[in-house]
Chains A and B, each alone.
Chain A
């Protein structure tokens, strides 16, 4: 009898790049992501990987994202019906970041929508979304295909990302504008390249047929080494996204359809995503509720906080220690106070090695959310709860010009 354990056929999977990533993952530091294993860091510490993203380039395997293709004559109608942004204005070759809501206008998920052709869209999501798309496609001429496992995805992020890619494509990449996508080839491998990412930096995401994943990885790597390319894991990415002020589902908000109580749900306005909500486009899921919500003052805002260094120093000085700062993004929610009253909670906190500040992303009651407002955040110093001063700040905390810059010629930054 087979004694190896019959549960095996359904055990967690590696991504299409697993053959390469597992060889590089020195610390065997894996995390689960949507049923796949994904490297937390490749090196024994993630510091170098973070700095690669900010100063050279980092290569991140983002294949576990859920990916769907929406095709057919009503593809635009469906896309427009489900997301909050006006998709009729999304040109072929353009990508948009957008949340999508339930009929009460509460956010289910957020992701990117790529218009690959007039009637051909790719949607990426953090949560499985196939059923929901189908439910909203009633009566439409569309084909919805999940391609999560069939398509591998790599994020190449950082100032050198353009140089690396430009040398292995036909050179048209310099003209690829921020939040645009092209179909091209990398040394004979057919790919989509979008100028998107989760780092708030110059960067690209490369979408490839799973069967070409390993050769693609090798090609990028071979060419990337001289540019300081490093594989980067989720710990490095998590710091970069906080600096960029980008939300993380399940950490900064709970998807509406998973919330068992109403208060766990958030509207796009409450997540700082009001700019993605089009109220006058054709009817879509949640529009009525969002219109209604927009007509009254928002109760909650999602904001950045900068934690005051001197107040941190003071708190630690009392126990004769220098300030202890987190080496990675902390994901436990902590209270935020105005005087003695709790007025919000911070859901992500991270020390930013680039801007040299202790940062947080927080949900704040609207009247305490004005930029510059001085609040207090809970910190724990030697097992004791204390507070440090935290000021409401604009996000992104880090926003280099290269992120959205247009390049005429490729130069080494």
Chain B
């Protein structure tokens, strides 16, 4: 069965990057089709009403990295995107104390001062440095990675631009950047701070989505990655999409449709059709065959090259590098419906702290021990939790007076000893709730519903290989012109007319959209559009 119509472009996967890609192609006049396996678009950027009235940002749950140029180009606010601020982070401690970092500088300083007067000062110095580095590194997000092996004229120009940009850094800044690229987040933070809780809760940004501990080299870069986000020009600002993270995808999809992009859900692609080293179409799991001049995959590199194509479509060395591409799942999600708000021992009652993030990361040792469990194939007995209560910011997320809570959980290894079973999933969920109950004892009494997402669930439901939320580790050997592999970091692939646009390409994961946009710009360049 073949659809008679031939498209200019088919995007495989309706995640946020696939949608961004399609929207840009559509905007340029290409007759574009998006094929999504699930019943809704968004991939890992979805809002689902799993229980009547309770909306969960099932997987990704906050926004910061979404590129401002995408918001502008696609006019996303007109298509329903509204980002509400997530202003604070509190870290409750087992002794009933807490560390709060707030929107207000003085208030943050006071809180830090209670833990360490020196850290209260160092925190500002650190912020200044990270601001400078984020400003220095930010243009890299917008660059098409040059090919360092056989550079084209354009690649040389990009490298020159990069060099020129980094030349503006002072010696101190350059040294710090190098440290960030190579050190562990905890070691890097040890150079700055003395209070355990501050180091722990900050180093947690360095482990999110990686199968590494806070003392593993390479995690400091992930720390910087989290500083690169910006909202309305403010670096490191985190926000919450009104209606849940699914609204990010919905708004992009709406923008795409406004450019005549066709989006088909429940249309799983089985494989890409090739003829003489060229992609010519796709075959759906239903057997339906759809032709297009250009095919783009928004899936991760493993699925893109090992599932969608036949091994003989690709060169051996390329296949080898994709097989070796590291994509290790390390996290899970627990989403809750609550009859009442959690009552934290450290800050009893309802307060502004419930509008921000709540980070269970009391000490570096706690995080490192959590990693130890995972290294040997168990989920953490006491995991790192990053919690938000979206209904505190957007009352539309739950029935009036009720709440939803999103808990990002690390570590949960994909390769669990004995494998993930329903029993293991529930045991994992119980561990998360038990951990939270140590800080908010009423939690068990107020849970109405619970959804537990293991890395296996993230793989099966969201199509994230091994449940890796970034489509591959954000380690230096897999970034920039190494992402996903040298020589193929410019969104093209060894198969002509076949492109990649997922988080497995530069600049990587997070609800960022840049891979989708860059890929579209490259495709349009190839098509001379």
Residue positions of A touching B, CB distance < 8 A: 1-8, 10-13, 32, 34-35, 128-132, 134, 146, 257-258, 260, 262
Q: What 1/0 flags go to B95-126 for Cβ under 8 Å of A?
A: 00000101000110111000001101110110
Residue of B nearest to A12 (CB): B106
Total number of B residues with any Cβ neighbor in A under 8 Å: 28
Question: A35 near B106 (CB under 8 angstroms)?
Answer: yes
20 additional A-B residue pairs with CB within 8 Å, beyond A12-B106, A130-B121: A1-B349, A4-B349, A5-B351, A6-B347, A6-B348, A6-B350, A6-B351, A6-B353, A7-B347, A7-B353, A10-B107, A12-B107, A32-B106, A35-B106, A35-B109, A128-B121, A128-B124, A131-B121, A132-B121, A260-B131
Contacts A32-B106, A34-B106, A128-B121; is A5 near B135 (CB within 8 Å)? no
Q: Between A and B, how many residue pairs show CB distances below 8 Å?
A: 70
Which residues of chain B have C-beta atoms less than 8 A from A257's C-beta?
Answer: 125, 128
Question: B349 near A3 (CB under 8 angstroms)?
Answer: yes
Q: List 23 A-B contacts (CB under 8 A).
A: A1-B348, A1-B350, A2-B349, A3-B350, A4-B349, A5-B350, A5-B351, A6-B344, A7-B100, A7-B107, A7-B352, A7-B353, A10-B111, A12-B106, A34-B106, A129-B121, A131-B125, A132-B121, A146-B117, A257-B128, A258-B128, A260-B132, A262-B170
B106, B107, B131, B135 — which one has the most chain A CB atoms within 10 A of its CB?
Answer: B106
CB distance from B54 to the nearest CB of A (A): 22
Question: A6 near B118 (CB under 8 angstroms)?
Answer: no
CB distance from A400 to the nearest CB of B (A): 36
B109, B120, B347 — which one has the most chain A CB atoms within 10 A of its CB?
Answer: B347
Contacts A146-B117, A260-B135; is A6 near B106 (CB within 8 Å)? no
Which residues of chain B have C-beta atoms less than 8 A from A260's C-beta?
Answer: 128, 131-132, 135
CB distance from A265 to the nearest CB of B (A): 11
List 8 tightest A-B contacts by C-beta distance, closest first.
Answer: A6-B351, A2-B349, A35-B106, A6-B347, A131-B121, A7-B352, A131-B118, A1-B349
CB distance from B109 to the nearest CB of A (A): 6
Q: Is residue B522 within 8 Å, beta carbon to beta carbon, of the partner chain?
A: no
Contacts A35-B106, A130-B118, A146-B117; is A2 near B348 (CB within 8 Å)? yes
CB distance from B40 to the nearest CB of A (A): 37
Contacts A35-B106, A257-B125, A258-B124; is A130 near B351 (CB within 8 Å)? no
Other-chain residue from B109, B135, B170, B343 in contact with A1 (beta carbon distance below 8 A): B343
A35 to B105, CA, bound (A): 8
CB distance from B439 to the nearest CB of A (A): 13
Question: A11 near B107 (CB under 8 angstroms)?
Answer: yes
Residue of A nearest to B121 (CB): A131
Which residues of chain B have C-beta atoms less than 8 A from A132's C-beta?
Answer: 121
A257 to B172, CA, bound (A): 12
Which residues of chain A have C-beta atoms less than 8 A from B120's C-beta?
Answer: 128
Which residues of chain B have C-beta atoms less than 8 A from A1's C-beta?
Answer: 343, 348-350
CB distance from B403 to the nearest CB of A (A): 14
Question: B110 near A35 (CB under 8 angstroms)?
Answer: yes
A262 to B172, CA, bound (A): 13
CB distance from A390 to the nearest CB of B (A): 34
Q: What 1/0 flags go to B128-142 for Cβ under 8 Å of A?
A: 100110010000000
